[in-house]
Amino acid sequence: MLLKSQFLYGEDFELRKGTLVIEEGIIKGFTNEYNEREVFEFKGLVIPPLINAHTHIADNSIKDIGINKTLDELVKPPNGLKHRYLAECSDDILVEGMKLGLEDMREHGIKYFCDFRENGVRGINLLKTALKCYDYPKAIILGRPTKVDKDEIEEVLKNSNGLGLSGANEFEDDELKLIFRIFKRFKEKDDKKLFAIHAAEHKGAVEYSLNKYGMTEVERLVDLGIKPDFIVHGTHLTNNDLELLKENNIPVVACVRANLSFNVGMPKLNELNDNLLVGIGTDNFMANSPSIFKEMDFIYKLYHIEPKDILRMATINNAKILKLENVGLIDEGFKAVFTFIKPTNAILFSKNIIASVVTRCEKGDVVDFSFCINL
């Protein structure tokens, strides 16, 4: 097919007007040779697909339970307020909440998301049930076993894209090594399997690890020979943590709005961005909307990182971290998956189109064409 519009093209998000050739879902470049009747024309702006690299979508069924609660009171397994509330929800309510969460992401232009799916295989299957109603967004599901049990860990890995653990402090050394050993067996057969874990989310977690193990969470993971594909948060990384992440090529997915929602502080995002591959997510649905637009705007206003770098975090960086092949850019050889921005006040008369996308766009500025054009 042929798609005529203006695009944020390539790694530098160059604004280019033209007609894009798409063959079997892959971008082939621009052309000047076409019949107007064969062209799908969009008069707004086409940007790379937005990706949310960290969510807990089941929490959409228990919104705003955590007001003025500490993070441990709210989400620490197994008896955090979140877990007690979720245990009271029926499967039907959880699936309905997930469907509404998927709809929310779709309306915000999010094409892929990575969910840390609690409650073992049951939690994975609930999300798969909700996903049946949607072509997009597509999910990268990181499962979480309910206990450290070889058989259950294997079942979770068979039914998901990998593991998403709550944190190193929840496990003894031998438990972490067992989990990672099983994961590595699966990764040998499928190198796209992911192992991710929360780390340095709040000061209490860092202090607990130092008091019990004499090491930070990151130091302990590296010492145990455990190399995550990425860590989530990194709000309170030490200088040595940062060096270890850099040496071991471990990215960080930051969730800045969630950190401030839970009053745990702010990651040193400028420093992280200078040293590591950084992605972004929105974390718990009960505390935040899943909007990557809001996350990008928030990051710009707090850190004044270049808008181009922030947009990279939400697109190509997130795609690299999640091992999404040929996703995250509008460029030759990449999959023709896009986020479409309508010609609204958010971008009209813009003198810096990337900044306008990062700081002004909201879900009302998005239109979803995935249902009517063959991409």
pLDDT in tens, 102-137: 999 999 999 999 999 999 999 999 999 999 989 999
Q: Across residues 26-41, what is the average pLDDT?
A: 88
Q: What is the mean pLDDT of the chain?
A: 95
Q: Which one is predicted more confidently, 373 or 268?
A: 268
Question: At residue 22, does pLDDT exceed 60?
Answer: yes
**Is the bond preceding residue 48 a cis peptide, omega within 30 degrees?**
no
Q: pLDDT confidence of 84, banded at 50, 70, 90?
A: confident
Question: pLDDT tens-digit profile of 304-330?
Answer: 999 999 999 999 999 999 999 999 999
Q: For position 371, what pLDDT does the model report? A: 44
CATH of domain 2-48+329-367: 2.30.40.10
Question: At residue 365, does pLDDT exceed 50?
Answer: yes
Q: For position 370, what pLDDT does the model report? A: 63
Q: pLDDT confidence of 372, banded at 50, 70, 90?
A: very low
Q: Which CATH superfamily is domain 50-322 in?
A: Metal-dependent hydrolases (3.20.20.140)
Question: pLDDT tens-digit profile of 156-195?
Answer: 999 999 999 999 999 999 999 999 999 999 999 999 999 9
Lowest mean pLDDT among 69-78, 110-119, 229-238: 69-78
Question: At residue 331, does pLDDT exceed 70?
Answer: yes
Q: Across residues 332-349, what is the average pLDDT?
A: 97
Instruction: Return the domain boundaries, the chain.
Output: 2-48+329-367, 50-322
2-48+329-367 with 50-322: one CATH topology? Answer: no
Question: At residue 215, does pLDDT exceed 50?
Answer: yes
How many percent of the chain have pLDDT more than 90?
Answer: 87
